[in-house]
């Protein structure tokens, strides 16, 4: 079956120094794991074509479809605060861009072999991280959080070496773009003002058409990130590697490595095995984001005109992040406790619940979901401790109309819990993808939970707790 994907590759039309032309490295024996039918149709791609022999060959990197312009993007970045002047796509190839119902989208193969940016790595991915990113990115989409998406996953019939030999896999990732803060840093570090201007123009045209210059682009990117981080916080999501090369200027969540959703709430929760000092803990995310954006602002300064005025403008925008974030945070957490519009006076009520949850070992997702049903007290070690807070909350929520419906729409019943993901990966390594597909189906409707899937909403038992997550590189 011939593939009929309509590509229009705007990034490939930028100068050669923006990327390295790079074909995927073929694999031995690809087999299809999953195709995201709904997403394929949004992109104007027939899912049946992706399931065909030719489609699987493309998804594995063994065949390049007509019209594609495969490349690996160049970028730099701060990783855990340390500067790395050249990173780039070390295990990914951007096949091209398709224009569908949701606008222009990148179609990228992740785990597709070595590139000029691999820095000694094998450029491959093993099955576990591919399944994790598929599940979590699609769950984020269903939760209404801006994110890259997963179009398909294939196994490769090859083994990749990590701490031990693992089954290889390739993820087909869809994104509004893969342009990062680190992409701007790459050219700023080289004092390539021409490239910075070209990149800025490209991002404005592609993502922020109402922006008129670099300063308005900075303003709009910051606003998008303030909203995104507030949404992460509202579902207990911890990205795990908020390096500047993992911050997409489009405002989408990108790069699901050692990410995790909290079970028991703790503000300083960290899962990433490489985050030894808690730089990217749950509570640190609203602090790291403006630090990253300050690096973005520094890159744009040469495009902003007179230096002193430019610095003052950019500084004012960066300093506006806390207020903008707090506005988004109140909207998110206000809805979670039934408020149509939370104000400054409601901060103490929201913070009080979070403090109580931490002190009483309450499950983040299940506590908020139980509020609408009136049985949240059972989530606390000492239910009487919740009763005091509940009295104040009910006094406040009496002023609202239909708060239960608002809470039901803001508080998911099911999230991609670490222990369920790890169980799905473990079973898949043995050739059984049943739990993976079951999770994928349940996470597509996170605010509804079929009784047959009630076990997927349960927090882990002590034996099931997954304390650490890993990048998979």
Q: How confident is the model at residue 1 (pLDDT cuts 50, 70, 90)?
A: low
Residue 376 φ/ψ, nearest 5 degrees: -70, -25
Residue 211 φ/ψ, nearest 5 degrees: -75, 140
First-residue to last-residue Cα distance in the chain? 34
Return d(Cα 239, Cα 124) in angstroms, integer: 21
Q: Per-residue DSSP letters for 106-117? A: EEEEESB---TT
- Say how many C-beta atoms besides its own lie within 10 A of residue 212's C-beta: 10
Q: Is 245 considered catalytic here?
A: yes
Task: Yes or no: say if 368 and 408 are a contact pair by the CB < 8 Å rule.
Answer: no
**Residue 373 structure tokens:** 């049903």
pLDDT digits (tens, 9 = 90+) for 230-257: 999 999 999 999 999 999 999 999 999 9
Q: How confident is the model at residue 305 (pLDDT cuts 50, 70, 90)?
A: confident
**SS3 state at 105:** strand
Return d(Cα 380, Cα 159) in angstroms, integer: 45
What Å distances lie between residue 122 and 25, 26, 154, 161, 473, CA to CA?
11, 13, 18, 9, 9
Instruction: Give the pairing type, strands 77-79 and 149-161.
Output: unpaired
Task: Yes or no: say if 389 and 356 are a contact pair by the CB < 8 Å rule.
Answer: yes
pLDDT digits (tens, 9 = 90+) for 264-284: 999 999 999 999 899 999 999
**The model scores a pTM over 0.95:** yes
What's the CA angle centered on 182, arms 42 and 196, to 5 degrees? 95
pLDDT digits (tens, 9 = 90+) for 182-196: 999 999 999 999 999
What percent of the chain is modeled with pLDDT above 70?
Answer: 99
Residue 165 φ/ψ, nearest 5 degrees: -65, 135
> Of these residues, 89, 219, 245, 275, which one is catalytic?
245
Query: So what's the pLDDT on residue 413?
Result: 97
pLDDT digits (tens, 9 = 90+) for 393-422: 999 999 999 999 999 999 999 999 999 999
Alpha-helical segments (H) within 99-152: 127-142
pLDDT at 473 over 80: no
Task: Yes or no: say if 439 and 424 are a contact pair by the CB < 8 Å rule.
Answer: yes
pLDDT digits (tens, 9 = 90+) for 59-95: 999 999 999 999 999 999 999 999 999 999 999 999 9
pLDDT digits (tens, 9 = 90+) for 333-362: 999 999 999 999 999 999 999 999 999 999
Task: Yes or no: say if 229 and 203 are a contact pair by the CB < 8 Å rule.
Answer: no
Task: Yes or no: say if 131 and 425 are a contact pair by the CB < 8 Å rule.
Answer: yes
pLDDT at 464 over 90: yes
- The b/e string for 307-328 (b: 16+ C-beta within 10 A; e otherwise) is eeebeebbeebbeebeebbeeb
pLDDT at 26 over 70: yes
Task: Yes or no: say if 412 and 231 are a contact pair by the CB < 8 Å rule.
Answer: no
DSSP state of 181: H
């Amino acid at each position: 079956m011939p593939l009929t994907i309509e590509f229009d590759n705007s990034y490939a039309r930028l100068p050669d120094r923006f990327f390295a032309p790079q074909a995927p490295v073929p694999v031995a024996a690809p087999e299809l794991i999953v195709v995201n039918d709904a997403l394929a149709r949004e992109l104007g791609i027939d899912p049946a074509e992706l399931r065909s022999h030719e489609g699987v060959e493309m998804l594995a990197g063994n065949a390049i479809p007509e019209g594609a312009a495969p490349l690996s993007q160049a970028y730099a970045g701060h990783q855990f605060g340390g500067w790395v002047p050249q990173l780039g796509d070390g295990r990914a190839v951007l096949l091209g861009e398709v224009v569908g119902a949701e606008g222009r989208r990148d179609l990228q193969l992740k785990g597709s072999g070595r590139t000029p940016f691999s820095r000694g790595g094998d450029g491959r991915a093993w099955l576990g991280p591919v399944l994790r990113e598929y599940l979590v990115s699609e769950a984020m989409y269903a939760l209404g959080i801006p994110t890259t998406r997963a179009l398909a996953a294939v196994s490769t019939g090859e083994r990749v070496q990590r701490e031990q030999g693992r089954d290889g896999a390739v993820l087909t990732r869809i994104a509004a773009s893969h342009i990062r803060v680190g992409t701007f840093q790459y050219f700023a570090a080289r004092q390539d003002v021409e490239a910075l201007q070209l990149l800025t123009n490209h991002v404005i045209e592609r993502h922020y058409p109402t922006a008129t210059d670099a300063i308005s682009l900075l303003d709009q990117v910051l606003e998008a990130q303030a909203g995104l981080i507030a949404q992460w916080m509202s579902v207990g999501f911890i990205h795990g590697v908020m390096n500047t090369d993992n911050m997409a200027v489009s405002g989408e969540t990108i790069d699901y490595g050692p990410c995790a959703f909290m079970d028991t709430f703790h503000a300083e929760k960290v899962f990433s095995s490489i985050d030894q000092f808690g730089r990217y803990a749950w509570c640190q995310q609203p602090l790291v984001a403006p630090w990253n954006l300050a690096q973005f602002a520094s890159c744009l300064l040469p495009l902003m005109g007179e230096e002193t005025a430019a610095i003052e403008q950019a500084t004012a925008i960066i300093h506006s992040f806390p207020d903008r974030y707090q506005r988004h945070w109140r909207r998110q957490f206000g809805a979670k406790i039934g408020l149509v519009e939370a104000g400054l006076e409601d901060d103490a009520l929201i913070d009080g619940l979070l403090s109580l949850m931490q002190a009483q070992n309450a499950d983040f997702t299940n506590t908020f979901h139980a509020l609408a049903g009136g049985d949240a007290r059972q989530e606390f070690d000492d239910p009487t401790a919740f009763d005091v807070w509940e009295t104040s909350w009910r006094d406040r929520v009496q002023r609202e109309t239909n708060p239960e419906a608002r809470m039901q729409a803001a508080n998911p019943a099911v999230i991609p819990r670490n222990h369920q993901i790890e169980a799905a990966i473990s079973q898949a390594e043995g050739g059984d993808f049943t739990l993976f597909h079951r999770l994928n189906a349940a996470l597509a409707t996170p605010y509804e939970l079929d009784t047959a899937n009630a076990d997927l909403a349960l927090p882990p038992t002590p034996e099931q707790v997954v304390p650490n997550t890993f990048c998979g590189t």
